[in-house]
């Protein structure tokens, strides 16, 4: 179900999630965070949906935290889910960010919370929190140094200056750099490629990648063996092998 702040639309097996507060540059207030969380719940619980695309209305991804709402005492975070109901959420289904225009502060952090990012070449990514006496606490300080070299991440975090989508591509921050206005279409194409694959395998990839960040390599391999053991017992593995042998597309059940 869509809300006034967040629209959802099922396109094939992908859920398109659109932050829809263009008059506020799609900044995140409490209602918007709740709307994103509700959309992610729909994605997680609907077996017909296998991936999500997150974007913003009217050519802007998100300006981040709604400072006016914050001054009124509203929180843009949800307990257990983080900023925007997303940055700390442990989703099992792949999520692609489609970034047009500004992805500033929490907006950038929402994109970092997704599995893939498609950016318009003239998009703007930045973490300006230090200019307001804050830090990028929605994942920027934690995640960005893991995605790009240390000194480049520190430039984002310490100067607060933005970079273009084209520069983000050069830094390896995004998967695709596209012409202005094409980010959502390309993100949906990427999602379609993803959803052609086995749902249980996609969830296992996300689980192992997430867990491996905080544990030793032997522990990660141990976790991976458990996941592989479960996958090998699934109907989808047999279907994948049978479909390959029969030279046809597999019909996944997620079982």
CA distances from 14 to 2, 35, 51, 87, 170 (A): 15, 17, 5, 20, 28
Q: Catalytic annotation on 109?
A: yes
Counting as low any pLDDT under 50, the low residues of the chain are none
- Among candidate residues 79, 90, 129, 246, the one labeled active-site is 129
In the chain, which residue ranges form alpha helices assigned H by DSSP? Answer: 30-45, 67-71, 106-112, 140-147, 150-159, 165-170, 183-195, 199-212, 217-232, 235-245
Each residue of 185-220: pLDDT tens digit?
999 999 999 999 999 999 999 999 999 988 999 999
> Rounded CA gap, 54 and 37, in Å?
12
pLDDT score, position 3: 82
pLDDT score, position 1: 63
User: What residue spans define the domains of the chain?
Assistant: 6-195, 199-245
Q: Catalytic annotation on 79?
A: no
- Among candidate residues 109, 121, 161, 239, the one labeled active-site is 109
Give the architecture-level CATH label for domain 6-195. Answer: Alpha-Beta Complex (3.90)
């Amino acid at each position: 179900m869509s809300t006034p702040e967040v629209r959802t639309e099922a396109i094939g097996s992908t859920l398109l999630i659109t932050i829809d507060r263009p008059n506020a540059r799609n900044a995140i207030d409490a209602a918007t965070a709740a709307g994103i969380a509700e959309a992610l719940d729909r994605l997680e619980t609907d077996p017909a949906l296998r991936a999500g695309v997150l974007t913003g209305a009217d050519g802007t991804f998100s300006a981040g935290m709604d400072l006016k709402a914050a001054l009124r005492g509203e929180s843009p975070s949800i307990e257990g889910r983080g900023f925007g109901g997303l940055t700390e959420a442990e989703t099992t289904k792949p999520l692609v960010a489609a970034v047009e225009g500004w992805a500033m502060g929490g907006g950038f952090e929402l994109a970092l919370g997704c599995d893939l990012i498609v950016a318009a070449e003239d998009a703007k990514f930045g973490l300006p929190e230090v200019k307001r006496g804050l830090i990028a606490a929605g994942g920027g300080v934690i995640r960005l140094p893991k995605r790009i070299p240390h000194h480049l991440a520190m430039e984002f975090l310490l100067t607060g200056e933005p970079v273009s989508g084209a520069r983000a591509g050069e830094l390896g921050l995004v998967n695709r750099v596209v012409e202005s206005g094409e980010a959502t279409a390309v993100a949906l194409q990427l999602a379609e490629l993803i959803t052609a694959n086995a749902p249980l395998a996609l969830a296992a990839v996300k689980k192992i990648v997430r867990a491996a960040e905080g544990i030793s390599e032997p522990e990660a391999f141990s976790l991976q063996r458990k996941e592989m053991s479960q996958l090998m017992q699934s109907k989808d593995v047999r279907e994948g092998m049978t479909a390959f042998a029969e030279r046809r597309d597999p019909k996944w059940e997620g079982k």
